Amino acid sequence: MDVTLATSVDEFFHEVVTDALSVVDLEASEPASWYLVGLLGEMTRARLTDEPLGVKLAQTTTTDPGERVRTLKQVGDTSLYVAGFFAESLNRSLVAVDYYVNLGQSAYAQLARSLGSQKSITEVYEELAENFPQFVDVLLQVRKRTDFATSDVGRLYEMWLRTRDEWIEKKLRTLGVLVDPDHKVIQ
């Protein structure tokens, strides 16, 4: 991705999401990719709550239909965002990424069934539910491309050793670190 000025948050995230979809090799529908753009824009302004998402999901069976839809959307969106953007820290916690993947898939699938008469948005939620792990990978790629503050060379190198990601390698090179084919750091 070239460094260019975006005229809006949506334009910026659309470019980053499009690039990430290509890297992950996910053929997402245009509405689903724009849904991700909107989700990322919302998350720049939203605060994540400490309320357990599993409890929220379980409580959707006792709420009125409008509240149920809002809660299912919130659980799905939060699960997708957390699993994509905080996967590394989740690996060091009691709650694994799989927990969020299962919650998000379930929430989006229930949401699609709840909105059955609204065909276009139903298809987006069905797509998100069916391909949830791949969409998590897309957000992981987005995070890598938008984490401008990361200059911890050691952490970046460890990430590169695990993933062999070209983008991380390029970032290491811009920080003055050369990686040779034998995986040694040359400074």
Q: What is the pLDDT of residues 64-118, one digit of tens each?
A: 888 999 999 999 999 999 999 888 777 666 678 899 999 999 999 999 999 977 8
pLDDT at position 36: 96
Which of 112, 125, 126, 43 lies closest to 82 in space, CA to CA? Answer: 43
Which of 46, 54, 42, 31 lies closest to 120 in space, CA to CA? Answer: 31
Q: 31 or 186, which is more confident?
A: 31
Q: Which long-range contacts (CB under 8 A, 24 or more apart) does 184-187 make?
A: 185/157
β 185-186/178-179 pair status: antiparallel
Mean pLDDT to the nearest integer, 50-60: 87
Alpha carbon distance 122, 126 (integer Å): 6
| Residue type for position 53 | L
Q: What tokens appear for 130 in the block? A: 């069916």
Under a CB-based contact definition with an 8 Å cutoff, are residues 84 and 140 in contact?
A: yes
Residue spans of the domains in the chain: they are 9-148, 149-187
Alpha carbon distance 112, 116 (integer Å): 6
Residues in the chain: 187
**Rounded to two decimals, what is the model's pTM?**
0.75
| Residue type for position 148 | F
Q: 1 or 137, which is more confident?
A: 137
Task: Report how far Cα 22 is from the mean position of its chain's Cα atoms.
Answer: 14
Identify the helix (H) or strand (E) that includes residue 120.
helix 119-130
pLDDT at position 137: 94
Which of 150, 17, 116, 21 lies closest to 9 in space, CA to CA? Answer: 17
Which of 62, 50, 43, 39 lies closest to 125 in space, CA to CA? Answer: 39
pLDDT at position 162: 72
